[in-house]
Structure 1
Amino acid sequence: MISPDLPVELKAALDAKLQGFSRNEAASRAAAISRTYRDGGGSGTIKSETDALAYVLARMPATYAAIVASLNAFVEIRPDFAPSSLLDIGAGPGTASWAAAQTFPSLQRFVLLDANATLRALALELAGTRLRDARYELGPARKLLADAEPADLVVASYMVGEIDEAERTALAGLMWEKTGEVLVIVEPGTPAGYARIIALRAQLIAAGAHVVAPCPHDEECPLEAPDWCHFSQRLSRSRAHMQVKGAEVPFEDERFAYVALTRTPAPNRPSRVLAQPVVGKADVTAKLCTPEGLSIAKIPRRAKADYARARRWRWGDAVTGA
């Protein structure tokens, strides 16, 4: 599995850009950008290099970690997938392209699409050797996507929440049209982010897609409000990251929701752990999404092998035999 921490080459490129950069100014700008995102805004407020660097410092590590976690979950079920081409929609500073490059060494062609010129400029500066030959197109996502060549892997991360429902529906149809085999969509792990994922999931299943992760089935999500499906990825914080976030602990837990869809159905989709299991003296209690639906599994201590296995389960794990 790929580490959730930023690659060494990307860290080095970021450190070089941050020489002489005011951490206080970055913290102020990062707080303003974060408020915009929480209020449903997008990357349109990022207009200067200072804005872009503040955003990358505050958000890129967590976004990268969530995308890597989503791709790791997919690869666990489809280890045979070896894409040669990537379409990164709403690419921003290139976070998803970096995550895909680390996950799939087979990738050779990278095409990034975004409407923000400032983030594009920063992405090209951070590209490094792995993404050196990437093509980064600037403009509205739907227009650029309509003109793009299909790719084996298409990723849309933390971007569908920035557009309205009608545009989202149209864009999703176009994303699937350009998907050679795998489409991965990642959103914040909020009820609103989950709702967007579920709506797109239903739309794309109706268009012929098959879910590989996190769901072990193509049926309707069995969860009922106020519950929602999301996961958590822990990542380490650099000193600069801690300063910009005003944080005191050297780690962060990023909550995210995602769906990975393919044109070819996966033969054996495992159950998914939907919350951190509760380990008791008598049993392990785990909330699972199974091929048959939602299940609260209780694995008794007397079943020693099963109990020992269940004690190692973590939120988000794919599990078999549950």
Structure 2
Amino acid sequence: MTAPDLPAELKAALDAKLHGLSRNDAAERASLISKTYRDGGNSGAIKTETDALAYALARMPATYAAVTASLNALREITPHFAPTSLLDIGAGPGTASWAAAEAFASLKEFTLLDANAALRALALDLGRDSTRLRELIYQRGEARALLAAAEPADLVIASYVIAELSDAERSALAELIWAKTRDTLLIVEPGTPAGYARIIALRTQLIASGAHVAAPCPHDGKCPLTPPDWCHFTQRLPRLRAHKHIKGAELPFEDEKFSYVALTRAPVTQHPARVLAQPAVSKVEVSAKLCTAEGLALARIPSRTKPDYARARRWRWGDAVEQADIER
């Protein structure tokens, strides 16, 4: 999977914000904010413009990569989906909106919701000179209150936000988000067992409310995975110079682990299997763990079936695989 780099307009806007910024101060702030999130806190730790920029430098590339990978999987399953309106829940600095704008040229209306004033101000600054996002609407306030008055959108995204809510709040918000989804809802969370558990809980709840799974699952049934296994994917992304400095990293890349689910109003017409881990490739065969419409399967593609073997060698973790390409 191609590494999704930040759009040129967004990188230019971030670079412009870096002038005069103390990189060491930003790194310290990003570290404190990251610790707050790890300890169960929320975006309340982001209080100033510098906090918001430090957070964006540390997390925007990885969040953008995960949302882009999820949207790419959705587009592969629903190639004719052409949304014109987006509702971005818990938008933060606007990362998911930038990813959606890149994924769907059809998008015309961008509505962002978040309670954090510093992140809202940064998002508006970053989008000011964008050809696609300069007309975005960013409403600040508590999500449920804003959603109650919001217009439904073709595409609704809630990325890296539901972890900040209690179970009861999460369930109530999910129903309200689904009510505002005209066609497709995408939920993205960290690729941890806890993030996966939140995804599965909302998936179960919304299927009971009439939703259908587009990706990554090839079915609307119960997830066949059992602990300690969990469904997650990984996306490699390049690190910008400032990104490396903020994170105190030497490598020019990082791997973001994420879990996601894309839900649609109408059943999808195709349900390919999904590769759940990086396949093992040998001279004898390609072996891959798959989630299929019938449940889990271990596909073994022998090298003697040269065309099938050649295709299987190109499989990557997270790919959709047509049932015709699988030999069990």
TM-score by length of 2: 0.97
Q: Kindly report structure 1 stretches of 4+ aligned residues shifted beyond 2 Å.
A: none
Once the two structures are superposed, residues 219-263 of structure 1 have per-residue CA deviations (whole angstroms, 9 ceiling, x without a partner) of 000000000000001110111110111111100110000000000
Once the two structures are superposed, residues 122-141 of structure 1 have per-residue CA deviations (whole angstroms, 9 ceiling, x without a partner) of 00000123111111000001
In structure 1, stretches of 5+ residues that fail to align are none
Q: How does 1:206-285 map to 2 (within 5 A)?
A: 206-285=208-287
Report the Cα offset of residue 2 of structure 1. Answer: 8.3
Give, in whole Å, the separation in 1 of the partners of 2:116 and 2:171.
Answer: 21
Count matched residues. 322
Give, in whole Å, the separation in 2 of the partners of 1:179 and 1:62.
Answer: 25
**In structure 2, which of residues 188, 191, 208 is the aligned counterpart of residue 186 of structure 1?**
188
**Does the 8 Å CA contact 1:57/1:240 hold for their aligned counterparts?**
yes
Give, in whole Å, the separation in 2 of the partners of 1:146 and 1:113.
Answer: 12
Q: CA RMSD in A?
A: 1.0
Q: How does 1:1-322 map to 2 (within 5 A)?
A: 4-127=4-127, 128-320=130-322, 321=324, 322=326
Give, in whole Å, the separation in 2 of the partners of 1:268 and 1:112.
Answer: 31
Once the two structures are superposed, residues 163-196 of structure 1 have per-residue CA deviations (whole angstroms, 9 ceiling, x without a partner) of 1000000000001100000000000000000000
Aligned AA for 1:102?
E
SS across alignment from 1:80: coil
Report the Cα offset of residue 304 of structure 1. Answer: 1.2
Once the two structures are superposed, residues 47-106 of structure 1 have per-residue CA deviations (whole angstroms, 9 ceiling, x without a partner) of 011110110000000000000000000001111001110100000000011111111111
SS across alignment from 2:256: strand
**Does the 8 Å CA contact 1:231/1:257 hold for their aligned counterparts?**
yes
Residues 93/6 of structure 1: CA separation in 2 closer, same or farther (3 Å cut): same
Aligned AA for 1:11?
K
Report the Cα offset of residue 3 of structure 1. Answer: 5.9
**Does the 8 Å CA contact 2:3/2:238 hold for their aligned counterparts?**
no
The share of aligned pairs that are identical, in percent, is 72
**Does the 8 Å CA contact 1:94/1:112 hold for their aligned counterparts?**
yes
In structure 2, stretches of 5+ residues that fail to align are none
Aligned AA for 1:121?
A
Once the two structures are superposed, residues 145-167 of structure 1 have per-residue CA deviations (whole angstroms, 9 ceiling, x without a partner) of 11100000000000000010000
Aligned AA for 1:92?
G
**Does the 8 Å CA contact 1:2/1:72 hold for their aligned counterparts?**
no
**Does the 8 Å CA contact 2:3/2:236 hold for their aligned counterparts?**
no
**Does the 8 Å CA contact 1:112/1:136 hold for their aligned counterparts?**
yes
SS across alignment from 1:216: coil
Report the Cα offset of residue 144 of structure 1. Answer: 0.4
Give, in whole Å, the separation in 2 of the partners of 1:48 and 1:129.
Answer: 27
Aligned AA for 2:184?
V
**Does the 8 Å CA contact 1:67/1:186 hold for their aligned counterparts?**
yes
Aligned AA for 1:142?
R
**Does the 8 Å CA contact 1:2/1:102 hold for their aligned counterparts?**
no
Give, in whole Å, the separation in 2 of the partners of 1:103 and 1:166.
Answer: 32
Aligned AA for 2:292?
T
**More displaced 10-residue stretch of structure 1: 9-18 or 281-290:** 281-290
SS across alignment from 1:21: coil
SS across alignment from 2:226: coil
Aligned AA for 1:84?
T
Aligned AA for 1:140?
E
Residues 171/2 of structure 1: CA separation in 2 closer, same or farther (3 Å cut): farther
Report the Cα offset of residue 281 of structure 1. Answer: 2.1
Once the two structures are superposed, residues 261-304 of structure 1 have per-residue CA deviations (whole angstroms, 9 ceiling, x without a partner) of 00011111100000000112211110000011011111111111
Residues 85/60 of structure 1: CA separation in 2 closer, same or farther (3 Å cut): same
